[in-house]
Each structure stands twice: as C-alpha cells, then as structure tokens.
Amino acid sequence: MRILRAWECNIGREIVKLKQQLSLLDGLSTNHRKTVLKIINDVRNLGDKAIVKYGKCFDKVSLSPDEFRVKDKEIEDSYKKISLPFVKSIQRAISNIRAYQEHIKIRNVGPLKANGIVLDTLYSPVESVGVYVPGGAASYPSTVLMNTVPAKVAGVDRIIMTTPPAKDGTIPPERLVAAREAGVNEIYKVGGAQAVAALAFGTETIPKVDKIVGPGNIFVTLAKKEIFGYAGIDMLAGPSEVLIIADDRANPSFVASDLLSQAEHTPGISILITFSESLVKQVETELKQQISKLKRHEDTKKCLDKFGVIILTKNIDECVEIANALAPEHLQIMTQNPRTVLSGIKHAGAIFLGAYTPVALGDYIAGPSHVLPTSGTARFSSGLSANDFLKRSSVITYSRSALKEAYKDVAEISEAEGLDAHTQSVQIRLKGARS
C-alpha cells in the first residue's frame, strides 16, 4: 500500500487524486457510451432479437426467447444443490433486513389543517421493480437480498430479476435460492446493458418496469444512466471502497483483515487513515501474513497495491477532516471512543463502529442495505432503503373561504410571471362566492 504523510505533501491535491481514482466516470472514452447507446437502441427497436444477439456476443450463451425466463423447476432443483445451513443463513439475513427496513420505512402522516385548508401526504409503492444481479466470479446472493427485500417491505407488487447466465445457460443455485426466498416474482437470464434496456423499455418476453436497481460493470452503469427518465434508477455505483479511521489502540490484525476484505472485490479501494506510525508498521506486517492465506491472494494483492492507500496524519481531527473530504462508501471507526469520532463525521454511506463491527456484517447480515453511494456521492445521497421504492404525492384541499384568502397572493405571483390564466382560474371560482 502507498503511504502518504499529510505533513509532507499537499494533502488537498492528493485527496483530489484519490477522488479521481474513486470516480466511476473518470477516464471513460466516448466509445463506452457509443457501445451502450447502440445496445439500448437495438433492444428498444428489435426486442428479443437483440437480447439473443448480445447474449451470444457478450455472455457466450445461446438462448431462445422462450428460454430467457427461469423455470420453476430450475429454482426447485437449485435447493438440492446447496446446503441447508446456507438456506438458513439466507433466511436469517432476510429477517434482519426486513426488520430494519420496516423500522425506517416512512409512514403516512396525519393531515395538516388550518382555516379551511387540508394538506395531506400520501406515500405509495412503485408498482414494478427490476433488480439487476451481476455475474462473474461470485454468485452474489447478497445482492439479491439487499435490493429485493427493501422493495418488498415498501410494498412493490412485481419484482423482476435479470442476471447473466453461464455459458451453459444456467444460473448459480445460490442466486436462485436467494431470489425465491426474498420474493422475486420472475427471473430472466439476461445480463449487461441489454438487460437494463430490456427492463426500461420491455421486449416481447421481458416486461418493462418502473425502477431499476442493482450494481453492475461500467456498461451496466452507463446503461442505467442513459435510460433514466424512461425508468427510475437507484444510483450510479462505482468500485466498492472502505476508509478506516484507526488510533494507536486499534488491533492491527483487525485493520489489515478489513483492508483485505475490500481489496478482495477486485477492484476494491482500501484506505487507512491514522496518526500512529506504530500501527502502520504492524498493519503492513499483518497484510503480508494474512494475504498469503486467501484463496484469491494474487488478485487481492494486485488490487491492494493499485488501490490501497495509508494516510498518516498529525491527530484524530485531521483523520476526520480527510474522511469527510473523501465521503466514503464504507467508513470504519476503530478508535478507543468511536462515538466521539462519529460526532465529527458528516459524509459516509454506512458507518461501522468499534473493533467488532467489520464491513462484512453490513455486506451480508446486519440489516441496512449494502447498496451504498460510492465515489464521494455520500456527500449528497444515501444507501438504498424501502423508502426509495415509495413515491410521495401531496393532496391539497381548499375551501371557498380559504381560496378567497389566498387569492391576492396567487394573483400577485402569477401576474408577475405573466400567467394571467392562473389568476383567472381563481377568480372564476370566487364569482358569487360568499365571504
């Protein structure tokens, strides 16, 4: 890992460099966008034919439209291929996620009443949601849960999942079991930008949805960006990242293990900020010892070498200041009094306090969704929750006397804007109205 000493460099400039490294869209070529736009337009115009074409091209799988949807028997058979303890763990994770999401879900509030005016607020769920679950080296059942359960808690009626199949047309059993347990209604064997386009516009086989959530590669993310407006999206997610604030009391083996668990994402960005030179030396030793024992040790080491940074500061206040400037996806505070440090934190997607709260808990089992803002976007956005699947409608009721009371203000503002029909819409109601 690269070591930066705050007093030896322009830390502001280094933070800018780090932000560029964290940025999702930095350094993208116009070819990326052209490729995605072509895929989207093909799916929009050709429907299933385009899905077949791009499945062969990118996923190296040949499926006909009647093979897109996962059959019930495939899901039932998937239970035979996994262990009962795995199913129980999935069920416990679902229970925790549901409990947390129900706890934070927005409730309809009572009306605001005053002098003939009634202002109501109505929250209603999105009707249909598309959940994108990436393929690749891992099975990602946790991604299924963290996107689906909040939608179910919100009351979404129809949840459709798309996910890239293997070359033989199969989906990992863990992913299918997670989908069944979480309440996914339909699963389609489609990946990439073409899956996002299919969910946004619909094809002969794949239904159109109102909102699309879930992470993916750069092409999936760019596709979500391009279709926004035709359907809603959750966020534009970049590489996963962790920032650890640690003092001289932190356990170096714990710190090293958390840096490695983030680098294991390949790419995953791992940052340690501390004022303790002694801790840095111990963490470096621990990293060397622990990394050799990992199954994916070579890729993890490359990732840590490329995206790992240690920042040495003069004091804990400077640690907090830098953390706020970076606004990380995951923030771990491993200090003697973590809640004291927490009081200074302004920006972070999810915050993990104390020595016994690794990010892995948030990834899998704790309850809050692990779909979090990356690339510094925690400065203005939040992690996915049940509330992201709710729409708010205002309900306004005025009596005749209340309208008369409001008339002068409406007229002043509408006439200033040159919109006299607005004024007339009030006047016409007041003709003959009793005072």
Query: What's the confidence (pLDDT) of residue 12?
Result: 82
- Fold match between domain 2-24+238-367 and domain 30-233: yes
Element (H, E) at 272: strand 268-274
Write down the mean pLDDT value for the chain.
93
CA 228 to chain centre: 15
Query: What's the confidence (pLDDT) of residue 435?
Result: 45
Rounded mean pLDDT, 353-378: 95
- The type of residue at 67 is E
B/e letters for 166-196, b = 16+ CB within 10 Å, e = fewer, are: eeeeebbbbbbbbbbbbebebbbbbbbbbbb
- Residue 303: phi, psi to the nearest 5? -65, -45
Query: What's the confidence (pLDDT) of residue 25?
Result: 62
Catalytic member of 181, 226, 241, 330: 330
| Residue 53 half-sphere exposure toward CB, CA atoms < 13 A | 12
For the chain, give the percent of residues with pLDDT over 70. Answer: 96
Query: What's the confidence (pLDDT) of residue 22?
Result: 65
DSSP 231: B
Strand partners, 131: 161, 213
> What's the rounded Cα separation, in Å, for the pair 170 and 131?
18
For the chain, give the percent of residues with pLDDT over 90. Answer: 82
Query: What's the confidence (pLDDT) of residue 434?
Result: 53
Catalytic member of 174, 181, 226, 329: 329
Query: What's the confidence (pLDDT) of residue 297?
Result: 85
Residue ranges of alpha helices (H) inside 113-268 are 141-154, 173-182, 192-201, 218-227, 252-263
Q: Is the pLDDT of residue 122 over 80?
A: yes
- The type of residue at 334 is M
Residue 91: pLDDT band (50, 70, 90) is very high
- The type of residue at 360 is A
The answer to whether 347 is a known catalytic residue is no
- Per-residue pLDDT tens digits for 205-217: 999 999 999 999 8
> What's the rounded Cα separation, in Å, for the pair 41 and 20?
30
Q: Which CATH number fits domain 30-233: 3.40.50.1980, 3.50.90.10, 3.30.70.1290, 3.30.565.10?
A: 3.40.50.1980
Query: What's the confidence (pLDDT) of residue 384?
Result: 97
Pairing of strands 117-125, 112-114: antiparallel
Q: Give residue limits of the domains in the chain.
A: 2-24+238-367, 30-233, 399-430
Query: What's the confidence (pLDDT) of residue 395?
Result: 96
More confident residue, 23 or 324: 324
Cβ partners under 8 Å of residue 195, min gap 6: 132, 162, 163, 164, 188, 220
Q: What is the largest CA-CA distance in the chain?
A: 87
> What's the rounded Cα separation, in Å, for the pair 219 and 38?
12
Query: What's the confidence (pLDDT) of residue 391?
Result: 96
In this structure, CATH architecture of domain 2-24+238-367: 3-Layer(aba) Sandwich (3.40)
Helix (H, G, I), strand (E, B) or coil at 318: helix
Checking 78-85 for CB contacts under 8 A at 24+ apart, the result is 78/171, 78/173, 78/174, 78/176, 78/177, 78/180, 79/173, 79/177, 81/173, 82/173, 82/174, 82/177
Query: What's the confidence (pLDDT) of residue 24?
Result: 61
**How many angstroms separate the Cα of 206 from the Cα of each of 202, 225, 429?**
6, 20, 48
Element (H, E) at 281: helix 277-291
The answer to whether 330 is a known catalytic residue is yes
Rounded mean pLDDT, 139-165: 96
Query: What's the confidence (pLDDT) of residue 9?
Result: 85
> What's the rounded Cα separation, in Å, for the pair 65 and 49?
8
